[in-house]
Chain A
Amino acid sequence: MEHIYIQKGFKTPLAGMPDFSIIQLPDPGTIAVSAMDIPYIRPKLLVKENDLVKTGTPLFCDKRNKYIRYVSPGTGIVKHILFGKRRRLREVVIQLDKIDDFIQFETVPLQILDSTPKSELIRLLQKGGLWQCFRQFPSKDTANENHEPPMIIVSLNGNDLYSPHPQVILKNNIQNFEFGMALLNQFSNRIIVTSRKSSLDELDKLNGLTHHITHIVPDFFPAWDPGVVLHKLKTCQEENRSWCISAEHLIWIAKLLLTGKYPIKKVVTVTRSNDKKPHIIARQGSPIKDLMGGRDDKSLVTTGYFNGRSAQTTSHIGFFETTLNSIKDNQEEEMFGFIRPGFNKPTVSKSFLSCLIREPKELDCNIHGEERACINCGYCTKICPVDLMPNFIMKALSSDDIEDALSFGLLDCCKCGLCSYTCPSKIELTKILTHGMNTHYKDKE
Chain B
Amino acid sequence: MNPLRKLFDISEKHFTGSGNLALLAPLFDATKTFFFFPSPKNKHAPFVRDNLDLKRYMSLVIISLLPVLLFGIYNTGVQAGLAKGEMYPFIQAFLIGARYVVPIIIVTYAVGFFWEILFASIRKHKISEGLLVTGLLFPLTLPATIPLWQVALGISFGVVIGKEVFGGTGRNILNPALTGRAFLFFSYPVSMSGDVWIAAKNTVDGVSGATALSIMAPEGETITTALGDSGFTLSNLFLGFVPGSIGETSTLCCLIGAIFLIITRIANYRIIMGGILGLIFTSIIVYLIPGGSDSWINAGPLYHLCAGGFLFGISFMATDPVSAPGTNPGRWIFGFLIGFLTIIIRVANPAFVEGVMLAILFMNVFAPLLDHVVLKHAVSKRIPNA
CB of A412 within 8 Å of the partner chain: yes
Q: Which residues of B contact A411 (CB under 8 A)?
A: 385-386
Q: Does A140 contact B (CB under 8 A)?
A: no
Q: Which residues of B contact A366 (CB under 8 A)?
A: 39-42, 49
B247 within 8 A of A: no
Chain A residues with Cβ below 8 Å from B126 are 370, 372
How many Å lie between the Cα of A22 and that of B48 in the bound state? Answer: 27
Expressed in whole angstroms, the minimum distance between the Cβ of B369 and any Cβ of chain A is 14
Q: Are B385 and A237 in contact (CB under 8 A)?
A: yes
Q: Is the CB of A422 closer than 8 A to any CB of chain B?
A: yes
- B53 and A327 within 8 A (CB): no
Q: Which of these binds chain B: A55-63, A94-102, A142-150, A347-355?
A: A347-355
- B28-44 vs A, CB cutoff 8 Å, 1 = contact: the mask equals 00000101111111111
Q: Shortest distance in angstroms between A141's beta carbon and chain B's nearest beta carbon?
A: 15
Q: When the two chains form their complex, are residues A389 and B375 in contact, meaning their CB atoms are under 8 A apart? A: yes
User: B268 an interface residue at 8 Å Cβ cutoff?
Assistant: yes
Interface presence of A20 (CB below 8 A) = no
* A369 and B130 contact, CB distance less than 8 A: no
Within 8 A of B (CB), among A319-350: 325, 327, 329-331, 333-339, 342, 345-350
Give the interface size class of chain B.
Answer: 35 or more
Interface residues of B in 1-53 (CB under 8 A from A): 2, 4, 33, 35-53
Q: Are B129 and A372 in contact (CB under 8 A)?
A: yes
Query: Would A345 and B170 count as touching, CB distance under 8 A?
Result: no
Instruction: Tell me the residues in window 117-131 of chain A with beta carbons closer than 8 Å to chain B beta carbons.
Output: none
Question: How far is A407 from B381 in the complex, measured between Cα atoms in Å?
Answer: 11
Least CB distance from B54 to A in Å reads: 5
B125's nearest neighbour on chain A, judged by CB, is A373
Question: Is the Cβ of B35 less than 8 Å from the Cβ of A336?
Answer: yes
Asked if B375 and A373 make an inter-chain contact with CB atoms under 8 angstroms apart, the answer reads: no
Query: Do residues A409 and B129 form an inter-chain contact, with CB atoms below 8 A?
Result: no
Contact partner of B47 among A138, A308, A338, A410, CB < 8 A? A308
Interface of A is mostly: loop
Nearest Cβ distance between residue B31 and chain A, in whole angstroms? Answer: 13
Q: Which chain A residues (292-308) contact chain B, with CB distance < 8 Å?
A: 300, 302, 304-308
Question: Which residues of chain A are near B324, meaning CB under 8 Å?
Answer: 376
What separation, in Å, do the CA atoms of A408 and B265 have in the docked complex? 25
Interface-lining segment among B55-63, B73-81, B286-294:
B55-63
> Would you call B147 an interface residue if the criterion is a C-beta within 8 Å of the partner chain's C-beta atoms?
no
Q: Is residue A277 within 8 Å, beta carbon to beta carbon, of the partner chain?
A: no
**Interface majority SS on B: helix, strand, loop or mixed?**
loop
CB <8 Å contact, A350 and B385 = no
Taking a contact as CB atoms closer than 8 A, the residue among B37, B48, B371 that contacts A421 in the complex is B48
Asked if A406 lies at the interface with its beta carbon under 8 angstroms from chain B, I say yes
Q: Which residues from chain B contact A337 at a C-beta distance below 8 Å?
A: 36-37, 39
Is there an interface contact between A351 and B170, defined as CB atoms closer than 8 Å? no
Asked whether any CB of chain A lies closer than 8 Å to the CB of B231, the reply is no
What chain B residues lie within 8 Å of A237 (beta carbons)?
383-385
Shortest Cβ gap from B186 to chain A (Å): 28
Q: Once bound together, how far apart are the Cα atoms of A366 and B50, in whole Å?
A: 9
Min CB–CB distance A354 → chain B (angstroms): 8
| A8, CB-defined interface residue at 8 Å | no
Residue A46 is within 8 A (CB to CB) of chain B in the complex:
no
> Which single member of B44, B51, B264, B327 contacts A346 (CB below 8 Å)?
B51
Other-chain contact of B46, A305, A346, A349, A392 (Cβ < 8 Å): A305
Q: Which residues of B contact A370 (CB under 8 A)?
A: 33, 38, 53, 126
Q: Does B169 contact A (CB under 8 A)?
A: yes
Verify B52–A376 contact, CB threshold 8 A.
Answer: no
Interface string of B294-336 (1 = CB under 8 A from A): 0000000000000000000000000001101011100000000
Tell me if A44 counts as interface (CB < 8 A to partner B). Answer: no
- With both beta carbons as reference points, the residue of chain B lying nearest to A238 in the complex is identified as B383
Minimum C-beta distance from A139 to chain B (A): 11
Task: Establish whether residues A376 and B326, one from each chain, have CB atoms under 8 Å apart when the complex forms.
Answer: yes
On whether the beta carbons of B52 and A240 are closer than 8 Å, the reply is: no
Q: Is A34 an interface residue (CB 8 A)?
A: no
Tell me whether A236 is interfacial, beta carbon within 8 Å. yes
Contact among A309, A348, A365, A377 for B41, CB-based, below 8 A: A365
Across-interface contacts of B84 in A (CB, < 8 A): none
Q: Are B322 and A420 in contact (CB under 8 A)?
A: no
Q: In the complex, A302→B48 CA distance in Å?
A: 10
B50 and A412 within 8 A (CB) = no
Give the distance in Å from the alpha carbon of A354 to the alpha carbon of B40 in the complex. 22
Contact of B37 among A306, A307, A334, A348 (CB under 8 A): A334
Which among B169, B268, B383 is the interface contact of A373 at CB below 8 angstroms? Answer: B169
Min CB distance A341 to B, Å, is 11
Please name all residues of chain B whose beta carbon is closer than 8 Å to the beta carbon of A213 when the two chains form the complex: none
8 Å CB interface, A382-427 against B = 389, 391-392, 406-412, 417-418, 420-426
A409-B382, A422-B50, A424-B50 as given contacts; A334 in contact with B39, CB under 8 Å: yes
Whether A409 contacts B385 by the Cβ 8 Å rule is: yes
Q: Are A418 and B383 in contact (CB under 8 A)?
A: no
Say yes or no: A365 contacts B50, CB within 8 Å: no
Chain A residues lying within 8 Å of B327, measured Cβ to Cβ, are 381, 389
Interface pair A424/B54, CB less than 8 Å apart: yes
Instruction: Assess whether B201 is interfacial by the CB under 8 Å rule.
Output: no
A329 to B42, CA, bound (A): 10
B128: chain A residues at CB < 8 Å are 372-373
Contacts of A305 in B (CB 8 A): 46-48
Q: Are B52 and A412 in contact (CB-based, < 8 A)? A: no
* B379 proximity list for chain A (CB < 8 A): 407-409
The 7 closest A-B pairs by CB, nearest first: A337-B37, A369-B53, A373-B170, A417-B46, A338-B55, A333-B36, A345-B51
Residues of A bordering B, CB below 8 Å:
138, 234-237, 239-240, 300, 302, 304-310, 325, 327, 329-331, 333-339, 342, 345-352, 354, 363-370, 372-379, 381, 389, 391-392, 406-412, 417-418, 420-426, 428, 430-431
Known: A333-B37, A351-B60, A368-B52. 4 other contacts (CB 8 A): A334-B36, A335-B2, A369-B56, A430-B46
List 20 contacting pairs A-B, 8 Å CB cutoff, sorted by A: A306-B46, A306-B47, A339-B59, A351-B52, A366-B39, A368-B50, A368-B52, A369-B39, A369-B49, A373-B128, A375-B170, A376-B170, A378-B268, A381-B326, A389-B326, A391-B326, A406-B386, A409-B385, A420-B49, A424-B53
